[in-house]
Chains A and B, each alone.
Chain A
Amino acid sequence: MNKQVWLSVAGLLALAALFLAELSTGSLLISFTTVWSSLWGDRATDDHWVVATIRLPRACIAMAVGAGMAVAGACLQSLTRNSLASPELLGVNQGAAMAIVIAMFAMPGSALWLYNLSAFAGGCLAASFIFALGTAGRRALNPMRFILAGTAISMFIHSLTQGVLVLNERTVDEMRFWLAGSVTGRGMEPLLQTLPVIVSGLICTLLLGKRMNVLQMGDEVAAGLGNNIRASKAMLFFVSALLASACVTLAGPIAFIGLAAPHLVRSFAGSDYRWIVLHSIWFGAVLLLAADIAGKLIRHPGEVPVGIMTILFGAPFFIYAARKKEEPA
């Protein structure tokens, strides 16, 4: 118990530190004192304005998306009892992204909630497809094959999205940046519209913690304990799709936060999902902020989209996790 509280405190402190660092970095490096006074309403110089109007929304989007993706990953990992499961490896991200791309071409300039809704539909569709494949065959796929099937579907959807883009060259450039995964230039407006979805998703997941723990004991034991497993699984499925698709609408298909954050948290917080979910919120936000800061510094004053940075840091982690995992004979 004590350990968990300390972990939360550590997570929050790290989050605060990175939040300030995020506000002060960019093509223009701004001192911490300016950042600090700007946060308290000082608008004396241009730098203060930059912090308040450009960087603050960006930092908030990064935190929301990091937390949302991390918790979506935690949901999927408990649902599948597979530590490699995550929204990007099971096609949820790519499904949501494809739905948004199609929606943007079919109904350009619509309200954000419409894109949100199509992303949710696309994410659900892709994920249910993979779950159906994973359980439908003659025998169920083993965990590693399940992940591999998910990646194959993911790549397939990604190619389809590219195909849609090739056929509609009009907005390709604008799309390409978003498809790489980026938290820039969105302003407060989309964040405020999506935030309620993400926050309610996070709260739902926190409430589902106990059910997630029971699921880890296996279907028979969980049923024996009087749990409705189907309902638990269905709830986790929808919550994870909701979180991931909301994040994709905000920042594009950002990969590997959903894999890495819960994985890391589990290694020092133990296996109680009530705590894993809570810590995933801090550490997901921390990871995405760190990736964004790195993306702004790596070729300063230029900038690398945060989605590329998460892949750069996350894929080696994926390799490590895949290497560690036993393959059943």
Chain B
Amino acid sequence: MTSASRNLLVYAVLLPLTLLLLLLQIGTGEYAISIGDTFATLFGYGTGEYDFVIRTLRVPRALIGWMAGASLAVSGTLLQGITRNPLASPGVVGLNAGAGLAAVVVIVWLDVSRDWLPAFAFAGALIVAALSYALAWRKGVSTIRMVLIGIGIAFVCDAVISIALLDGNIRKVNQATIWMVGSLYERSWEHFWPLLPWVVVFLPLAWLSARTLDVLGLGDVTSTGLGNRIHRSRTWLLFIAVALAGSTVATVGTIGFVGLMAPHLARRIVGTRHRTLIPIAAMLGGIIVLAADFAGRTLMAPTEIPCGLLTAILGGPYMVYLLLRDPK
């Protein structure tokens, strides 16, 4: 099978799967709606009975879930490409925690409009990224060291978040706690619109840098020989990765390990060329988050398990598997 027809096959599986999950997300829940009514309401010729549930509650939640998964997955793909380390991902490197810290500080201590949350989270993630890169640097960035340092930084951020939560007034703290867990619960259009520009701008930008990523994968020496200014392109890619992870965390909290698993699975399916890897990883990321959210809503209904918890339960063992597979 040529790689082109294989890629076509992969899309032919993943696209319907995504659509199916989106539909499940919209049609099921505490208030079940038949397939016919779901379609009718979505396309605007329904009876109006379900307009509120579907249009106001479920559609934004489904879309946000997909965008979050895709952004995290692409962010992870970029990080893994930059560091040439299959263990790098926004959660492991501490980006999520940095973004989370910035967002909690904004929610609890500053009085700022929601629309600015992604920007603040981006700044927080950027600071953490710079810090973990600088701290991991010792005659080159060692991969495992970078991950351990990222975990350390995440610990510190989490501790400060806990203190901020103890300190804030109770209404704001509740808001922050729901948000922190990494859940799509109560996500609606007011969360959707601030996130949208980040996804629309940075996902395509990531895809456009695919060639640079491929060249970086050849190693520093070869890459420089091919005329690549590695430091500049690395910084630019890191910037995109941080923007995607930061804005996502600002919207849905920390949904861990998606950025670790999705790119890795995608690489196993379509290989290492970033031109195809990035879109496939994005789709897989969207699928993982939607599936986790669906499972979280249905497994123990009516209790809702936050989807961030489910991805973490999947992700821990996955990381151990990655470590064992390649025990250098």
Contact = CB atoms under 8 A, between A and B. Distances in A.
A156 B317 contact: yes
A166 B306 contact: yes
B196 to A, nearest CB: 29
A312 B316 CA distance: 23
Interface string A156-188: 110110110011010000000000100000000
B159 interface: yes
A15 to B, nearest CB: 25
A138 B323 CA distance: 12
Given A148-B319, A152-B316, 11 more contacts: A136-B324, A137-B324, A156-B315, A156-B316, A167-B300, A299-B167, A311-B158, A319-B153, A322-B152, A323-B135, A325-B145
A270 B257 CA distance: 40
Contact of A298 (B147, B163, B309): B163
A144 to B, nearest CB: 5
B313 A159 contact: yes
B151 A138 contact: no
A316 B135 CA distance: 11
B136 interface: yes
B313 A316 contact: no
Contact of A318 (B147, B152, B303): B152
10 contacts: A137-B324, A144-B144, A145-B327, A149-B324, A151-B148, A153-B316, A156-B315, A159-B316, A166-B309, A323-B149
Contacts, number: 122
A145 B320 CA distance: 9
Contacts of A140: 327
Interface in B146-167: 147-149, 151-153, 155-156, 158-160, 162-163, 166-167
What range describes how many residues of A lie at the interface?
35 or more
A141 B144 contact: no
B167 A160 contact: no
A89 to B, nearest CB: 9
Given A144-B144, A156-B313, A323-B149, A299 B163 contact: yes
Given A152-B316, A159-B313, A145 B323 contact: yes
Report, as a range, how many residues of chain B touch the other chain: 35 or more
Contacts of A319: 135, 148-149, 152-153
A322 B148 contact: yes
Interface string A240-266: 000000000000000100000000000
A133 interface: yes
A220 interface: no
A141 B153 CA distance: 24
Nearest to B260: A152
Contact of B320 (A133, A160, A255, A309): A133
B162 A142 contact: no
A304 interface: yes
